[in-house]
Amino acid sequence: MADKTVDVLVIGAGPTGLGAAKRLNHINGPSWLIVDSNEKAGGLASTDVTPEGFLYDVGGHVIFSHYKYFDDCLDEALPEKEDWYSHQRISYVRYKGLWVPYPFQNNISMLPKEDQVKCIDGIIDAAMEARVSNAKPKDFDEWILRMMGSGVADMFMRPYNYKVWAVPTTKMQCAWLGERVAAPDVKLVTRNVILNKAAGNWGPNATFRFPARDGTGGIWIAVANTLPEEKKIFGEKGEVVKVDAEAKNVTFKDGSTVGYGKLINTMAVDHLVEKMGNDELIKLSKGLYYSSTHVIGIGIRGARPDRIGDKCWLYFPEDNCPFYRATIFSNYSPYNQPKADVKLHTMYLANGDEPSIPEPMEGPYWSIMLEVSESTMKPVDTENLLKDCIQGLINTEMIKPEDEIVSTYHRCFDHGYPTPSLEREGVLKELLPKLQERDIYSRADNIISGAVELTLNYPDFVNSRQNGERRLTQSFAFGQTELAHR
């Protein structure tokens, strides 16, 4: 006999779980409960604070959406104008010592002449091939070649995406893309090359907002605070150790149990089926692939240098640094780092030398957040990763050898990105129905009204701006079950 029984139990208080709880609370129908093993909400969209007072998100998160419901929930949680900073995205790709405006494929006019020729040749070949091809690309690599040609593929798309996903592009499918990746316009690219002109801002996050305080994690803590306290169990009491799908009963670390009618699960699917102890589903889940994410933070004393300016996030396809993306986190909010009058010790200089002044000194301070992926196909020297990242920052001229490092941060998240591998769709089409047969779902609306899970089943539609973006009110989804990050 369970200690407590609810109609709907939500596992996980990250954005997906909170979205389900908000929806259940909004309709005021079935009884529900949300649980999480962490003491605070946020999951893989939370924010950590170093002892010195630097904030770092669990990777690069910025707020933009295709769902009005989503936007309304955030505005309810953080309703004041001063709760947010709005930013125009300023992003570049580091290539051959140059800062090429993002997206790379729209700005080959900024490349050396010989690379411009290779890119244009490839883009023209791709455009001609696309006119006669009547078959869909069989993988992400073929999609890249068809859309952008071999020049852009070899210079940026292949090496960068390998660094992000930790698998080769030949092992990834492309159904998830929508308008997440810009397809170059042959005429526009050629015109810009002739005129030596950069392309304008592109994409759904060309403008974005960021919380003034507490990082991205502060958003989800605020959303959780809008939910009734008696319907939340966080911390050790909310840590799931066993899911009995036949008896519809969940056991927690402290030994307590909760019975449920339906379960909304937002933990990684492979973790769920392990807690279910179902050998068939465990075997099936082995076909899902993921990469781990290392988040590294560097706090630096001194005024933000001119070479950094108002940059937001930056892409690094080359092998002179282990990270694929750097975020100038101090540019997002003045509260992401200590105030200038806070006195901190210099740990060491960027080149590893001891500081000349051992006493703590005042700022100002600025910070960089780095992301490094790891998988069985892309191992990482974890022991030396922090040192290698600092050297990578020097190699890419992000920092100087004599810069004073006053704070460092390194945390690895085992389930970082769910990889859109070639096998993924086949596994999910078999696995998710088997879970639903056991009344295990990923989103509240699917339980309540049978609404189709748009983000899961039609990612190309949701990720396209042609769908009337920001007006999609039928579905309410902060994410999907098997999605772990960003």
Give residue-wise pLDDT tens across range 312-334.
Answer: 999 999 999 999 999 999 999 99
* Average pLDDT score over residue span 269-298: 96
Least confident of 30-34, 173-177, 321-325: 173-177
Residue 485 has pLDDT above 60, yes or no: no
- Predicted confidence (pLDDT) per residue in 136-145, tens digit: 889 999 999 9
Measured at the alpha carbon of residue 276, what is the angle toward residues 271 and 280, in degrees to the nearest 5?
90
On average, the pLDDT of the chain sits at: 89
Residue 283 has pLDDT above 50, yes or no: yes
Contact (Cβ atoms closer than 8 angstroms) between residue 290 and residue 165: no
Q: In the prediction, which pLDDT does 206 show?
A: 77
* Average pLDDT score over residue span 365-394: 97
Could you give the residue range(s) of every CATH 3.50.50.60 domain in the chain? 4-48+56-82+212-289+421-467
* Average pLDDT score over residue span 221-246: 97
Is the model more confident about 246 or about 466?
A: 246
- What single-letter amino acid sits at 47? T
Q: In the prediction, which pLDDT does 322 show?
A: 98
Closest by CA position to 333, among listed 412, 232, 217 = 217
Separation CA 76–CA 147 (nearest Å)? 41
* Average pLDDT score over residue span 294-304: 97
Question: What ranges make up the beta strands (E) of 392-459?
Answer: 404-418, 440-441
Q: In the prediction, which pLDDT does 177 show?
A: 67
Separation CA 478–CA 217 (nearest Å)? 14
DSSP 155: I
3-state secondary structure of 343: coil
Separation CA 6–CA 33 (nearest Å)? 7
Least confident of 116-125, 156-165, 427-436, 459-468: 459-468
- What single-letter amino acid sits at 468? G
Separation CA 477–CA 481 (nearest Å)? 10
Q: Mention the CATH class of domain 4-48+56-82+212-289+421-467.
A: alpha beta
Q: What φ, ψ does residue 88 adopt, rounded to 5°?
A: -90, 125
pLDDT band at 482 (very low <50, low <70, confident <90, very high): very low
Is the model more confident about 127 or about 235?
A: 235
- 180 vs 24, 186, 458, 462, 473, CA distance in Å? 30, 19, 14, 10, 21
* Average pLDDT score over residue span 125-130: 86
* Average pLDDT score over residue span 110-128: 94
Q: Which of 291-300, 413-422, 440-449, 455-464 has the highest mean pLDDT?
A: 291-300
Q: In the prediction, which pLDDT does 414 show?
A: 94
Least confident of 151-160, 185-194, 321-330, 430-439: 185-194
With a CB cutoff of 8 Å and minimum separation 6, the contacts of 155 are 95, 104, 111, 115, 118, 119, 317
204: its two tokens: 């759904």
Q: In the prediction, which pLDDT does 187 show?
A: 83
**What is the crossing angle of helices 140-152 and 158-165, to 10°?**
140
Separation CA 247–CA 286 (nearest Å)? 25
- 417 vs 157, 268, 283, 414, 477, CA distance in Å? 18, 10, 20, 9, 18
- The fraction of the chain above a pLDDT of 90, given in percent, is 74
Q: In the prediction, which pLDDT does 486 show?
A: 38
Residue 199 has pLDDT above 50, yes or no: yes
Contact (Cβ atoms closer than 8 angstroms) between residue 52 and residue 364: no
Q: In the prediction, which pLDDT does 286 show?
A: 94
pLDDT band at 127 (very low <50, low <70, confident <90, very high): confident
pLDDT band at 2 (very low <50, low <70, confident <90, very high): confident
Residue 201 has pLDDT above 90, yes or no: no
Residue 247 has pLDDT above 50, yes or no: yes
pLDDT band at 466 (very low <50, low <70, confident <90, very high): very low
Q: In the prediction, which pLDDT does 129 show?
A: 84
Q: In the prediction, which pLDDT does 441 show?
A: 93
